[in-house]
Structure 1
């Protein structure tokens, strides 16, 4: 009886010790990068979720308590934080990371489509690869209504000033025959080319929303990346709430 009691006390003691250690390790854990810190007590959702950058950003966007987030691509962990970290600087490069101000992540919806911003300064191929990696495709304006919505949205985003945006069409297969990049289907009756566009030159097989208020379509060289902005489109039945968030990508 005495041996059993002692054994029971030892087991309980060991369990409490392990529990205390695990709790201590949990609260000792934090994400810290150049002064940006989020401790477990400030987590909006747990860091055990494995996901992509975009899903991580959307998860934070959907949660009113999420003021900022951290994403670790090595473990695919997403850390939502209820504290806001904002130095007021755009595109501030930190060692081993990229810091985004709260205006850096753009999302919007129209009909069944959810649109979200990707990296800047990408070639068309890089934009395609990025969007596909997020289960999406480079933005496609397939109707007059969708095109007008996107033009107005792009026009009203200060972050996009001076940038041109890749459009998901190419005439790579047959010169002058423009197709939607995601499906390979030819354009239907709708298009929004600018004056004297497309030029149908053999070295201009991609297209973009031109810079400025009109955002007309312009054929363009696929390998160009200067002043280019990637926008992705994903079909969804879920309505996302657009909210300013801050992200620190720990790349």
Structure 2
């Protein structure tokens, strides 16, 4: 009886050890916490401290509302978020919850807007769907000041080198009549088209911040994926 009990405890111990190891293998050491990624209103649980990666993962996966989790190894801080973040560099943990290397997630704020990067190599429609899933929309530069802020920010990010960034405007309804994609409102008096843009061709109904040191606007085919970068905007109220 004693031998059987000891064997049973040993089996449980091995199973827990293997379970813990399998969870830990899903985490990279370079994960860093960035509080801008998940707004406090979207926390599933408030940041906890003095916790481990394993407990962080388990806590998230036991909560059906927890879509993603973040862990900071330096402060041992963990929090879960309602929103699903996908930078293209993700790994599944238990029950489909995710962790992210926040070094690959860019974010900034201007006024009441919070901007954050999404996946690379998406079509415009894929970018729209992705941002909508984050309670956001494809980035829109509606004023001269906001546009200059964003262009300066984009030009200073090494991660964006070689990439063009979708801009949330289209002329899908009427050729040459550009509208903000999130509201359908006409562009109005402000725009920042580059040289020879927009061309107003039927196959160029979307727009982008061009790659390079000026980041001017240009119309572009909506189905393009190569060298495109998704950036979302969420207005915080």
Structure 1 and Structure 2 fold alike (TM over 0.5):
yes
Query: How does 1:75-224 map onto structure 2 within 5 Å?
Result: 75-77=64-66, 78-83=68-73, 101-224=101-224
For residues 104 and 179 of structure 2, the distance between their equivalents in structure 1, rounded to whole angstroms, comes to 30
- Segments of structure 2 that go 5 or more residues without pairing to the other structure are 1-15, 75-86
User: Using a 3 Å threshold, how does the CA distance of structure 1 residues 99 and 169 change in structure 2: closer, same or farther?
Assistant: same
Query: How does 1:28-43 map onto structure 2 within 5 Å?
Result: 32=23, 34=25, 36=27
User: Using a 3 Å threshold, how does the CA distance of structure 1 residues 91 and 172 change in structure 2: closer, same or farther?
Assistant: closer
Alpha-carbon distance, 1:103 to partner: 2.1
Contact 1:34 1:94 in 2 (8 A): no
User: How many residues get paired?
Assistant: 192
Contact 1:139 1:166 in 2 (8 A): yes
TM-score (norm 1): 0.64
Alpha-carbon distance, 1:64 to partner: 10
Contact 1:140 1:168 in 2 (8 A): yes
User: Using a 3 Å threshold, how does the CA distance of structure 1 residues 37 and 150 change in structure 2: closer, same or farther?
Assistant: closer
User: Using a 3 Å threshold, how does the CA distance of structure 1 residues 192 and 67 change in structure 2: closer, same or farther?
Assistant: farther
SS of the equivalent of 1:231 reads strand
Contact 2:175 2:202 in 1 (8 A): yes
Q: Tell me what 1:20 maps to.
A: none
Name which one, 1 or 2, has greater alpha-carbon Rg.
Answer: 1
- Segments of structure 1 that go 5 or more residues without pairing to the other structure are 1-24, 39-43, 45-53, 85-89, 238-251
Contact 1:67 1:82 in 2 (8 A): no
Alpha-carbon distance, 1:55 to partner: 3.8
For residues 67 and 199 of structure 1, the distance between their equivalents in structure 2, rounded to whole angstroms, comes to 54
For residues 181 and 115 of structure 2, the distance between their equivalents in structure 1, rounded to whole angstroms, comes to 16
